[in-house]
Amino acid sequence: MAQIAEDYVSPSVRWGICKQDYPDAVVEFSQRLGTEIGIPENFGGEDQYCVAQITLRPNDPDVVMGYKPISDARSGKGDHASDAWNVLCTKAMGRALKRAGYADTAGEMRVLVQYKQRLAEQDATRGGVEAPVPVAAPVPVQNNPLVKDSDPEFEEFLAEEGEDADTWDSDEERDKEHAALKSAVIALPDEALADKARAEHDKLNGRQWPMDSVAQFNTLKNFVGSLHFDYLHAETEETETAS
């Protein structure tokens, strides 16, 4: 059995981050023959597998797949048979998430979360609200490849947007974004972190839900992302200190 990394990030945390990126993402589980999912007969194609299929966008013909052999199922004393299936599903989903780009170690995930945090900061800035200061030292704007040089036409565009920049394009967009944020809060690995998210929400607008202000929403979304980053960063530091 492969050794689990000390800075392993659970599938539930990675699924929460994935749902932030793709609010409409869904995962489906099934039991299938190996040859049906592209495994050659000589390499276990005749075996049965628990298959997790992630669809990132509605009506997307492409799916991201992960699987675990049914023979890997293990039941503890007093466990129901379905418990072993649930464990297989979790492991298969973890593999699918890894193939979708959501790594299973804190070191690798830190890069992704930090990148997403920078994008969220820019969203919040465009909405007119300053984003929370990130845990890691911020990249200077003039050296940040994600930020282009000042463009007079772009600045004029922002000025013309006015108050419209702080409103949702549609109720559907608002609801999807709120559902993704709720999933991200639920995926926080510690209840104390969820309490911090609620406190930040209360400080922003008295925990208004849904949030009418896009700027306030982006600020809270960025804050929740920083909580995930905080946790992964702390886990990585503990691992490096121990080794």
Predicted pLDDT at 127? 56
What are the helix (H) ranges across 56-105?
81-99
pLDDT-derived band at 169 (thresholds 50, 70, 90) equals: confident
Predicted pLDDT at 139? 31
135 and 204 belong to one structural domain: yes
137 and 228 belong to one structural domain: yes
Is pLDDT at 206 greater than 70 in this prediction? Answer: yes
Q: 20 in a domain, yes or no? A: yes
Whole-model pTM? 0.50
137 and 170 belong to one structural domain: yes
Contacts of 38 (CB under 8 A, 6+ apart): none
Which of 50-54, 102-106, 161-165 has the largest mean confidence? 50-54
Predicted pLDDT at 51? 94
Is pLDDT at 28 greater than 90 in this prediction? Answer: yes
Rounded to the nearest integer, the mean pLDDT of the chain is 74
182 and 207 belong to one structural domain: yes
85 and 129 belong to one structural domain: no
Contact 48, 67 (CB under 8 A): no
What is the C-alpha separation between 140 and 144, in angstroms, rounded? 6
3-state SS class at 173: helix
pLDDT tens for 96-132 read 998 988 887 777 777 766 666 676 666 666 555 444 4
Contacts of 87 (CB under 8 A, 6+ apart): 73, 74
Q: How many domains does the chain have?
A: 2
> Higher pLDDT residue, 62 or 215?
62
44 and 116 belong to one structural domain: no
Is pLDDT at 84 greater than 80 in this prediction? Answer: yes
Expressed as residue numbers, the domain containing 38 is 11-99
Predicted pLDDT at 226? 76
Is pLDDT at 200 greater than 80 in this prediction? Answer: yes
Given CA atoms 38, 52, 55, 9 in this order, what sign does their dihedral have?
Answer: negative
Residues of the chain with pLDDT > 70: what percent?
Answer: 69
**Average pLDDT of span 219-230:** 77
136 and 188 belong to one structural domain: yes
90 and 114 belong to one structural domain: no
H/E stretch holding 242 reads: helix 214-242
Predicted pLDDT at 153? 46
**Average pLDDT of span 59-85:** 85
Which of 15-19, 74-78, 169-173 has the largest mean confidence? 15-19
